Amino acid sequence: MATTRLTKAEQSQKTRRALLDTARAIFTTQGYAATATEEIVSRAGVTRGALYYQFRDKPTLFEAVFDEVRGEHIQALRVAMATAEGDAWQRLMTWVPLALEGTLDPSVRRIVYLDGPVVLDWSSERRRAPAIALLREIFEPLMAEGVIERLPLDALVRQLWALFFQAAVDIAQAEEGALALHERLVVLRRILRGLRAADS
């Protein structure tokens, strides 16, 4: 029976996928600091040379895993906002708890909110940009429709990003995640109500 041989590009992609999937699983359960590249290589079934061909070092591999996990999380939140029912304000109030409940997912919790802020440079615009873009997609229409007061949009979404990000980090670090989630939802909902236009 004839076998189909992978091209070099396909083999490279397969190797990269194996490294990303394996690293994600280990980073999620053990954390970044406790994860050795030797374990990733062994469990992925590739050589150390293959690892360093695909990724410069362990931080670069972690960043790639982080980008995937954070990207999936943001896409899920984008879909949740688009499919929520009710008027614009009701959709926002439905979306807010979903945004923070995602923090309880093991991969999101460990990779994005526990290890991410330690390993990666959060002062860079590149790091914050995807989440800020999502908030802009949500709050710009609310402002245009008169649901919330007209404010400088860029300043608004950056301040909101800081609030949501810190809330997510607090939930991820908390011994009682459900309680931390509840408390921060109470606070965030109250802050957001303060943005509502008087006649909305």
User: Which CATH number characterizes residue 46's domain?
Assistant: 1.10.10.60
In a shared domain, residues 91 and 182 = yes
To the nearest whole percent, how much of the chain has pLDDT over 70?
98
In a shared domain, residues 31 and 65 = no
- Tell me the C-alpha to C-alpha distance, in Å, between residue 187 and each of 1, 29, 176, 180: 64, 30, 17, 11
Taking only the tens place, the pLDDT of each residue in 97-109 is 999 998 989 999 9
In a shared domain, residues 114 and 178 = yes
Domain assignment of residue 1, yes or no: no
Taking only the tens place, the pLDDT of each residue in 59-108 is 999 999 999 999 999 999 999 999 999 999 999 999 999 999 989 899 99
Domain assignment of residue 43, yes or no: yes
Domain housing 34: 7-55
Q: What is the CATH number of the domain that holds 130?
A: 1.10.357.10
Domain assignment of residue 198, yes or no: no
Per the CB < 8 A criterion, the answer to whether 93 and 68 are in contact is no
What is the distance between the alpha carbons of residues 175 and 194, in angstroms, rounded to a whole number? 30
Neighbours of 140 (CB within 10 A): 13
Q: Given a cut of 80, is residue 53 above it in pLDDT?
A: yes
Average pLDDT across the chain, whole number: 93
- Indicate the pLDDT class of residue 200, thresholds 50, 70 and 90: low
In a shared domain, residues 39 and 88 = no
Query: For 31-119, where are the alpha helices, taking DSSP H only?
Result: 37-44, 48-54, 58-83, 88-101, 106-107, 116-119
Q: Which residue has the tokens 């404010």?
A: 151
